[in-house]
Structure 1
């Protein structure tokens, strides 16, 4: 029974993480193997490199993120950005709520001042289904813009990314680039049009990533497209644009930040991911935890714990809202390279198989489980389950919630983090107490398991879960049973 004590100094933690970056020696693919000190990811390992046969585990990671401009009022610069690029015609994507808000007005006025022609697609839906995404694709192929501008939350940015992609592949079928096994998962081998994203929620971090998520209605499941080529050219992160968010939207989008940071922090190390790609174009955007993503993910976690409750409870707390927007962007860089795992993998069938729940505060005329709610509802059960893979990381996460871990035993890490999450969600307010509060019955668990199984892109990054299908079913069922109610 080993007791551990971890420094509470943020400076010490940052220094430790930076040392882990320096401790990862680069391996040369032209030579046999390399000894790599993995720092916070694990012990010293002997890693295979491409010259060894058979090739299995990964030996490298890549770091990619959009350019980011952060500051109050920077939305007014977007017209100049397009003019500087020589763009003549822009397609603006937004939704029916955002189109009348200051963010959209500022962006349009900026385009007009710079003499940029534009057309607007404002029919993006919250948590979009494939039929709505296909409508956006058809519109973009007809309009043929030179560039794209997304003003809105994750649904707007993701729909815009997808429309941009398929404009550039006019003969592609919809499932060609959709993640396998639902789609073909083809790599994107050409550049798409320039895209600038202006987020109006503090949650998805989609302004930094090459990921676009949507529902396949016929399967009652979420999937999407993930490729570095989808990344926006620029994310304009303007705190003024989040001041109009309703409290419930702040809460649910902030929970997405929470799970982005926790999942990427606890994902399997990049050097444990299989298979190693034969060509770098096939290296996935989601690669597993690495020493660079760690810095972004852990800082985003710390900021979310501190500022999300404040931003939800006090609409005039400008500091909290600005810091949550920055946390969302930091988490986007972290998970956009490390990936997410079980909370997101389970969230897709949870939202896709919604038995009729409508979250308070959302102005829609249909049942809806917001994405942040669907990921957070399983989180106490998920991290109780995954802690055995790396107890220290889970205890460090618990410490970010304010838990004194100085005398906590390693084998208690999962329970400690689970309790911290349960308390955090309860104190945030208006959150469902497990699947039961969403209207699910225990008899729904087998269907939820089957709905999660196609999400192998993220499930394979989950620690402590089997990759053998029947055992994976049992693992997922156990986790879902654990989050039925808290």
Structure 2
């Protein structure tokens, strides 16, 4: 497993001989990361109504401790560090057949294999079953994962894994399968926990995961979520008509086995939707607020969120994933025999997973959760389901032009760099036009990709739905806190979101 890397650019006061060297290193790091840090009033204001979950008393106690030690101790300190955490990744055509040896190497004797009814019939699952059998590893298969899982389908899966008591998990499928396996692993380790205990606040209790979970190997069969490398699991909380999830580093898989042969069976519609998720992962993590603008600083490292804000390491992964997606997604969707494009999209999905798994996403994803959860009845073509469905990538991308038009002023240079990745000549573009230029580039990309709804109206939404969509977005605190330019006061924030949804009606 890749070790977490903790970097603290704002090191505490040091009277030793290393101070000058440390200062120079910090200065260099800051220069590399943000020549022009975005000016976001939301994140210089520690009183933001729902973005700061740690109690003031915790911060007060931290301030008292640091004051006694002679450190600077304002009550509402900004973050000063970021952590880099990702699963180990193995990438290559044919590596699926190695998974039996992996479990044997780790001494696993009872493996819970998690998949869905479609993937159960595919070559990937046949190879998995052969590999486990060949190495003499006992396993049971749960194949009832729901695409775009609901809390009810997650609970059904947990009810399967608890009595089986596996010593390892294997997920074979798309993001829905991998996320479900993560939560089976979590609640099998915490059999007495209430389901809402670990769910992200404010919809759940936001309890941190203190224990190490069982080994989980993830074999993605789609090129999209990057879930094989992140500590995030997303599902519909039906009673609240909202998508939410659980996010913690301990949820991330031990190993992601990325085999491009496994994505060749994806229908074109699934390739497109999955790829649009990669696109928005990359764009949102690249434009998220800087990690050192987030408040409050955690009182304990275990409280540092998985989604931390843009940082120098996540930037490298996010921008690379963006460039690859722009280049290879249209080819992948257009030609099922273009193996190079499909392979590069699987790699881009994993790269974007490392990027957003540490930096986080913001408005496209925050707005997408109520879009999916409040679906008026839209059923996206190309998906083998009997019920209405707005695939995750579609629900995310539909607001992207409106979102990046809005966030452009927060950091014009970053938005121009993103536009350049789409092939825009930015040499004569004014900084104040950065958001509009990026929005236009995204629109053109979506239109050329084909078979995409051109706004919320094409999904069946109208003006009468806007207020409910806004109310469904407000609880997405862990991603809204990373959105540049979002206001601090609740009513002002609601008005901004209302305008964003109205702008996203058509493009």
**Range into which the TM-score falls when normalised by the shorter chain:** over 0.9
| Matched-pair contact (CA < 8 Å) for 1:133–1:162 | yes
Equivalent-residue separation in structure 1 for 2:367 and 2:295 (angstroms): 21
Residues 44, 391 of structure 1: alpha-carbon distance in 2 compared, 3 angstrom cutoff: closer
Equivalent-residue separation in structure 2 for 1:131 and 1:467 (angstroms): 34
**What secondary structure is seen at the aligned counterpart in 2 of 1:431?**
coil
User: Per-residue deviation at 1:455?
Assistant: 0.1
Superposition map of 1:54-453 within 5 A: 54=74, 55-453=76-474
User: Per-residue deviation at 1:26?
Assistant: 3.2
Specify the alignment match of 1:41 in structure 2: 34
| Matched-pair contact (CA < 8 Å) for 1:41–1:289 | no
For each residue in 1:224-265, what CA deviation from the matched residue of structure 2 results, as whole angstroms up to 9, or x when unmatched? 000000010000000000000000000000000000000000
User: Per-residue deviation at 1:469?
Assistant: 1.0
User: Per-residue deviation at 1:468?
Assistant: 1.8
Name which of structure 1's ranges 53-62 and 329-338 shifts more when overlaid on structure 2. Answer: 53-62
Equivalent-residue separation in structure 1 for 2:13 and 2:249 (angstroms): 26
Equivalent-residue separation in structure 2 for 1:213 and 1:204 (angstroms): 10
Residues 471, 104 of structure 1: alpha-carbon distance in 2 compared, 3 angstrom cutoff: same
Equivalent-residue separation in structure 1 for 2:152 and 2:35 (angstroms): 44
Residues 38, 286 of structure 1: alpha-carbon distance in 2 compared, 3 angstrom cutoff: farther
Which of the numbers 484, 490, 496 marks the counterpart of 1:475? 496
Paired residue total: 462
Equivalent-residue separation in structure 2 for 1:437 and 1:472 (angstroms): 26
TM-score normalised by length of structure 2: 0.89
Specify the alignment match of 2:47 in structure 1: none
For each residue in 1:304-331, what CA deviation from the matched residue of structure 2 results, as whole angstroms up to 9, or x when unmatched? 0000000000000000000000000000
For each residue in 1:434-464, what CA deviation from the matched residue of structure 2 results, as whole angstroms up to 9, or x when unmatched? 0000000111111100000000100010001
**What secondary structure is seen at the aligned counterpart in 2 of 1:265?**
helix
**What secondary structure is seen at the aligned counterpart in 2 of 1:224?**
strand
Equivalent-residue separation in structure 2 for 1:376 and 1:44 (angstroms): 26
| Matched-pair contact (CA < 8 Å) for 1:41–1:290 | no
Specify the alignment match of 1:12 in structure 2: none
User: Per-residue deviation at 1:277?
Assistant: 0.2
Specify the alignment match of 1:18 in structure 2: none
Moved over 2 A (4+): 24-45
| Matched-pair contact (CA < 8 Å) for 2:37–2:411 | no
Equivalent-residue separation in structure 2 for 1:231 and 1:324 (angstroms): 21
Equivalent-residue separation in structure 1 for 2:451 and 2:167 (angstroms): 43
Structure 1 unaligned residues grouped into runs of 5+: 1-20
Equivalent-residue separation in structure 2 for 1:355 and 1:391 (angstroms): 36
For each residue in 1:150-194, what CA deviation from the matched residue of structure 2 results, as whole angstroms up to 9, or x when unmatched? 000000000000010000001100000000000000000001000
| Matched-pair contact (CA < 8 Å) for 2:79–2:296 | yes
User: Per-residue deviation at 1:56?
Assistant: 1.8
Equivalent-residue separation in structure 1 for 2:288 and 2:130 (angstroms): 43
**What secondary structure is seen at the aligned counterpart in 2 of 1:151?**
strand
Equivalent-residue separation in structure 2 for 1:95 and 1:476 (angstroms): 35
User: Per-residue deviation at 1:44?
Assistant: 8.4
Coordinate RMSD, CA, aligned? 1.7
Equivalent-residue separation in structure 2 for 1:38 and 1:131 (angstroms): 48
